[in-house]
Amino acid sequence: MDIVVENLTKRFGAQKAVDNISFRVRTGEVLGFLGPNGAGKTTTMKAITTYLTPNEGNIFVGPHSVREQPDEVKKNIGYLPENNPLYPDMPMIDYLRFVAKMQGITGEKIRERIHDMIRICGLEGEKHKKIGELSKGYQQRVGLAQALIHDPQVLILDEPTSGLDPNQIVEIRELIKKIGREKTVILSSHILAEVEATCDRIMIINRGRIVADGTARDLRRHSEGREVLRVRIEDADSNEVFQALRGIAAIGLVDPLGTGTGFFEVQSKPELSARRDIFRLCVDKGWMLTEMSPIETKLEDIFRELTMN
């Protein structure tokens, strides 16, 4: 089920939290929302879940509009809000049963679904505890279980791994990836590595606007535009190599890394690649080329570049 956001604008008083954004998420896609705090990620997600009504624009989940058929939208969405609100006094099983009934599941099917959720989310040993007695990681799993219990086509997860330890983060990511194959998933985060690890597509939002949209690779390519290589040339005089590299037409900048190590950082001119030229140079001169690796721009850098003004 696709999610289509059309010209969504959401104002709080005079401030525009989300400013005329449009995008589409396709079935089987995991979209990562990135952005600094207060960029409009949560507002956009709340609008998709019908919790906030847009001031302008519309959102469609499958064929249903959040304005005209909010109940149909709600039925198809599994939602894990920020900070994972739960009823701490409720036993976990009772809570899942409550959510299942609220989602309109009836009869034998309720027990079946609860059983499935406990298995999928790994809650086996904690079945009879109250939610408040569970560790944070298990509470997060309960949050995911309640979002998944009615087998929704669309999953909206607002910072699903916040407050978890590294092992739990990996587990939750694996779970999201597994689920994401058949469903449409939007998740938000400000941990870049997480988005890169879980999402097929990344959207960076800043001040209520989309500033970048694409796969992690697209974003890198888009942002750098020029190639940076780390080269090691041995059995040669550093100065000579340095001069020779500068002589290659496609190379814009050469930076020796340390003296006598043979390492160089080479930046090509825009839209050009110097890899072949460097190889040929080494062959001609009889130098030993022992390393040549492209240096990727870190997602962090792209993020900072796009969101700092």
Partner 1 sequence: MSKIWTIANRELHTFFDSLIAYIMIIAFLGFSGFFTWLYGADIFFVKQASLQSFFNIAYWTLFFFIPALTMRLFAEENRSGTLELLLTKPVSDWEVVLGKFLSTFFLILIALALTLPYYITVASIGPVDHGAVWSGYLGLILMSAAYISIGIYTSSISSNQIVGYLLALFIGIFFQIIFVMLAGNFTGLIGETLNYLSISTHFDSVSRGVIDTKDLIYFLTIIFLGMLLTEANLARKRL
Interface residues toward partner 1, by CB under 8 A: 46, 49-53, 71, 74-75, 77, 79, 81-83, 85-87, 89-90, 94, 98-99, 101-104, 146
**Measured CA distances, 154 to 4, 74, 173, 250 (Å):** 12, 10, 17, 47
Distance separating alpha carbons of residues 53 and 75, to the nearest angstrom: 17
Distance of closest approach, residue 178 Cβ to partner 1, in angstroms:
23
Distance of closest approach, residue 81 Cβ to partner 1, in angstroms:
5
Q: Which is nearer to partner 1, 39 or 52 (CB)?
A: 52
Distance of closest approach, residue 118 Cβ to partner 1, in angstroms:
19
Q: Which is nearer to partner 1, 103 or 307 (CB)?
A: 103
Q: Which of 141, 180, 146 is nearest to 161 (CA)?
A: 141
By DSSP bridging, strand 201-206 and strand 209-214 are antiparallel
Q: State whether residue 32 is helix, strand or coil.
A: strand
> What b-and-e string marks burial along 30-60, b requiring 16 or more CB atoms within 10 Å of the CB?
bbbbbbbeebbbbbbbbbbbbebebeebebb
Tokens 């690779």 map to which residue?
217
Residue type, 101: K
Q: Which is nearer to partner 1, 38 or 132 (CB)?
A: 132
Distance of closest approach, residue 110 Cβ to partner 1, in angstroms:
11
Distance separating alpha carbons of residues 16 and 199, to the nearest angstrom: 27
Q: Which is nearer to partner 1, 71 or 284 (CB)?
A: 71
Q: Which is nearer to partner 1, 121 or 233 (CB)?
A: 121
Q: Which is nearer to partner 1, 86 or 289 (CB)?
A: 86
Distance of closest approach, residue 251 Cβ to partner 1, in angstroms:
55
Distance of closest approach, residue 102 Cβ to partner 1, in angstroms:
4
* Contact by Cβ (8 Å): 251, 226: no
Distance separating alpha carbons of residues 224 and 271, to the nearest angstrom: 10
Q: Which is nearer to partner 1, 10 or 173 (CB)?
A: 10
Distance separating alpha carbons of residues 138 and 132, to the nearest angstrom: 10
Distance of closest approach, residue 46 Cβ to partner 1, in angstroms:
8
